[in-house]
Chains A and B, each alone.
Chain A
Amino acid sequence: MTNTTTISNLQTEDYINGYLQIESQLKDKMYFGEMNSFKKQLQNIEWNQLSNH
């Protein structure tokens, strides 16, 4: 899952501050960032099959 926003290197302070802002960029990125590449990394959902119908 390399494409997900990595928070390992973020300071806790940054994380809490960022996350608790209602529409923070961090939260937005964690929830919705790079959605298409994230979808491809999932193992069980057959996206192609769904969209081909």
Chain B
Amino acid sequence: MKKYKIYEFEYFNLNHIENKFGKGRRYGVGKFLSKLYKRTIVFKDVDEDDGYLLNKGFVYLSKIEIERYLGYNKKDGEFEWLTIIKSLNKSGIINYRRNGSNPYDFNKKFWFFKLNDEFFNCKKSYVDIESKTLNKWISKQNNHYLNKVSGIKEKGIKGMDKFLLYELDVCIGTELNIENLDLVIEQRINSKLKEYRDKLNWDWLGEKSKKKILNKLFDEEKFINRYKLLLNQKYQTIKSDLEYLKDGQYFELSSDYFRRDNYGYRIYNIYSRCIREFRDFIKIDGEDTVEVDLKNSMISVFYYFIKLLNDENKNLKIHLIKEIYHKLIKLNEGEINDSRLGLLYLDRWEYIKNYGDKFNNDYYDFLREESGLTDLSRNSFKELLWLILFGRDSQLQKLKLRENSYEEVKHLVLGNSRFLVDDLRSISLYNWNKKNYKYYKNISLILHTLERMIMDLVSQKMIENGYKYISIFDSFLVKKSEGKEIQKLLNDSVESIDKVFTFRLK
């Protein structure tokens, strides 16, 4: 019988577990904590304390696993797993939160856990699970996992379609070996510090955000050490997950990497959350890789979307566009004119298509000049535009650029297209994503859906032609030797959708 491994933490080791919960729970609770640790590392971000992330440091674990690891029998009128969770929570070892799509049924809510910080700072070792029944159960899960999830037509985590299976298959044949890891991590930290310093100069960035950055820079050494540790842990986690993947131990992976999200069905794989500096070292079938990306992706897709919306043949024929078109008309009490539908926004693109060379064919450079905000850096301008399109209302109301209010900045950057942006943020697309639906996310929801359509289309072309790829949202990692021919194939494909789309080789 194969013995699976878990992390044992000095902070709360297997003997501590045994003393607290008895011999029978030694490896179950150990496995529970080990899985939470690995999953947390995958999602952990050095900026997590700054963000409004739904599950700040919390990670999901399925009820099936919770019950198996912590015990599904009832003792003194309470399930063993619940007693253990409560006890671990009371001792400050874990924290938990219930979340999910059914606000009326507490029992159907999902479980999310957060480990005490000590788990990430203490010494840990990799040890065998010395429990026959637990090893047998894990082995069974591993053997059934892929057959169970592949081909299931279910949105989100549980189902795997052909594109996901293809990427999983490609990822099995990949390697990630970084000889001088310390140097690569140092480069990443330096570019992060540079990014923070640049942000301090962004006029429109709020005082609160700047203060958070300053806090990090104030104790730079502490920040560097914290980030260094996290990046090392991320590298180790991805390395061990790659081994599990190659060994067919899919259930043992830290996370359900291969899935589509509920936000436009974007694809995730084992490398989606891997930092760019690590990605440079990925090899497919032993070959170096290059990145082919969709240039100015989101903003090009926005243009394409407006074009569909303004095209009388399409806005009534294509289900998705028709739905939005009708909702916009209803919002405007039955009448909508070209200007309100963002037609002027299209004219700008005609201009950039004709005079693009002047701006390196870069939309952000073009719009920055047109808005007269040339003193903002490209990154600052891009983030400002993204905030206007995708930001929460509360963030937007606070936005200020020198003496200009949010309404004035929006006018400056979007011109008459601002009406369309406002309208798109006001219609309901609840039926598109019932989980955690928010009106302000409408534009990103629409753009992600269209972007994924384009990425699926070109992915299909690559599969048909036998090319291997790993998708990273709006780009693909491909074999270096095939980079140019793939770029040509993708450009030939997207050109027939619209000339605004271009894939470039990075």
Residues of A within 8 A of B (CB): 1, 4-8, 12, 15-17, 19-22, 28, 30-33, 35, 38-39, 42-47, 49-51, 53
Asked whether B453 lies within 8 Å of A20 as measured between CB atoms, the reply is: yes
CB of B463 to closest CB in A, whole Å:
5
Asked whether A15 lies within 8 Å of B319 as measured between CB atoms, the reply is: no
- Name the contact of B456 in the complex, choosing from A6, A30, A42 (C-beta under 8 A): A30
Can you offer 29 A-B residue contacts whose CB atoms are under 8 A?
Answer: A1-B465, A4-B162, A4-B463, A5-B460, A7-B460, A16-B497, A17-B317, A19-B456, A20-B318, A30-B456, A31-B153, A31-B162, A31-B163, A32-B153, A38-B162, A42-B169, A43-B173, A44-B172, A44-B173, A45-B168, A45-B169, A45-B172, A47-B146, A49-B248, A50-B147, A51-B143, A51-B147, A53-B140, A53-B143
- Name the contact of B151 in the complex, choosing from A4, A6, A32, A50 (C-beta under 8 A): A32
The digit string for B160-191, where 1 denotes a CB below 8 A from any CB of A, is: 01110110111011000000000000000000
- Name the contact of A30 in the complex, choosing from B168, B460, B465, B496 (C-beta under 8 A): B460
Say if the beta carbon of B321 comes within 8 Å of chain A. Answer: yes
Asked whether A1 lies within 8 Å of B463 as measured between CB atoms, the reply is: yes
Say if the beta carbon of B150 comes within 8 Å of chain A. Answer: yes
Complex: A8 Cα to B162 Cα, angstroms: 17
Given pairs A21-B319, A33-B162, A50-B146, 14 additional interface contacts (CB within 8 A): A1-B463, A4-B463, A6-B464, A7-B461, A8-B464, A16-B318, A20-B321, A22-B319, A32-B153, A45-B172, A47-B147, A49-B248, A53-B140, A53-B143
Asked whether B162 lies within 8 Å of A30 as measured between CB atoms, the reply is: yes
The B contact surface, by secondary structure, is helix
Complex: A21 Cα to B466 Cα, angstroms: 28
Asked whether A7 lies within 8 Å of B457 as measured between CB atoms, the reply is: yes
CB of B391 to closest CB in A, whole Å:
26
Asked whether A39 lies within 8 Å of B143 as measured between CB atoms, the reply is: no
In chain A, what residue has the closest Cβ to B250? A50
Complex: A42 Cα to B164 Cα, angstroms: 12
Residues of B contacting A46 in the complex (Cβ-Cβ under 8 angstroms): 248
Residues of B contacting A42 in the complex (Cβ-Cβ under 8 angstroms): 165-166, 169
Complex: A1 Cα to B162 Cα, angstroms: 12
Residues of B within 8 A of A (CB): 139-140, 143-144, 146-147, 150-151, 153, 161-163, 165-166, 168-170, 172-173, 248, 314, 317-321, 453, 456-457, 460-461, 463-466, 496-497
Asked whether B319 lies within 8 Å of A39 as measured between CB atoms, the reply is: no
In chain B, what residue has the closest Cβ to A46? B248
Complex: A32 Cα to B144 Cα, angstroms: 19
In chain A, what residue has the closest Cβ to B163? A31
Residues of A contacting B466 in the complex (Cβ-Cβ under 8 angstroms): 1
Given contacts A32-B153, A45-B172, whether A12 and B460 have CB atoms under 8 Å apart is no
Complex: A22 Cα to B324 Cα, angstroms: 13
Asked whether A21 lies within 8 Å of B318 as measured between CB atoms, the reply is: yes
CB of B109 to closest CB in A, whole Å:
27
Residues of B contacting A7 in the complex (Cβ-Cβ under 8 angstroms): 457, 460-461, 464
Given contacts A4-B464, A19-B453, whether A39 and B173 have CB atoms under 8 Å apart is no
Asked whether B321 lies within 8 Å of A38 as measured between CB atoms, the reply is: no
In chain A, what residue has the closest Cβ to B320? A20
Complex: A32 Cα to B170 Cα, angstroms: 18
Asked whether A39 lies within 8 Å of B165 as measured between CB atoms, the reply is: yes
Residues of B contacting A17 in the complex (Cβ-Cβ under 8 angstroms): 317-318
The 8 closest A-B pairs by CB, nearest first: A44-B172, A53-B143, A31-B161, A42-B169, A12-B496, A20-B320, A35-B151, A21-B319
Given contacts A43-B169, A49-B248, A50-B147, whether A20 and B497 have CB atoms under 8 Å apart is no
Complex: A8 Cα to B463 Cα, angstroms: 11
Residues of B contacting A43 in the complex (Cβ-Cβ under 8 angstroms): 169, 173
- Name the contact of A45 in the complex, choosing from B146, B161, B463 (C-beta under 8 A): B146
CB of A3 to closest CB in B, whole Å:
10
Asked whether A22 lies within 8 Å of B146 as measured between CB atoms, the reply is: no
CB of A28 to closest CB in B, whole Å:
8
Residues of B contacting A1 in the complex (Cβ-Cβ under 8 angstroms): 463-466
* Chain B CB within 10 Å, residue with most, of A16, A28, A50: A16
Complex: A16 Cα to B143 Cα, angstroms: 38
Given contacts A21-B319, A49-B248, whether A16 and B453 have CB atoms under 8 Å apart is yes
Residues of A contacting B166 in the complex (Cβ-Cβ under 8 angstroms): 42
In chain A, what residue has the closest Cβ to B285? A43
Given contacts A32-B153, A45-B146, whether A22 and B165 have CB atoms under 8 Å apart is no
Complex: A15 Cα to B319 Cα, angstroms: 13
CB of B358 to closest CB in A, whole Å:
30
Asked whether B319 lies within 8 Å of A19 as measured between CB atoms, the reply is: no
Residues of A contacting B170 in the complex (Cβ-Cβ under 8 angstroms): 44
Complex: A35 Cα to B162 Cα, angstroms: 7
In chain B, what residue has the closest Cβ to A29? B162
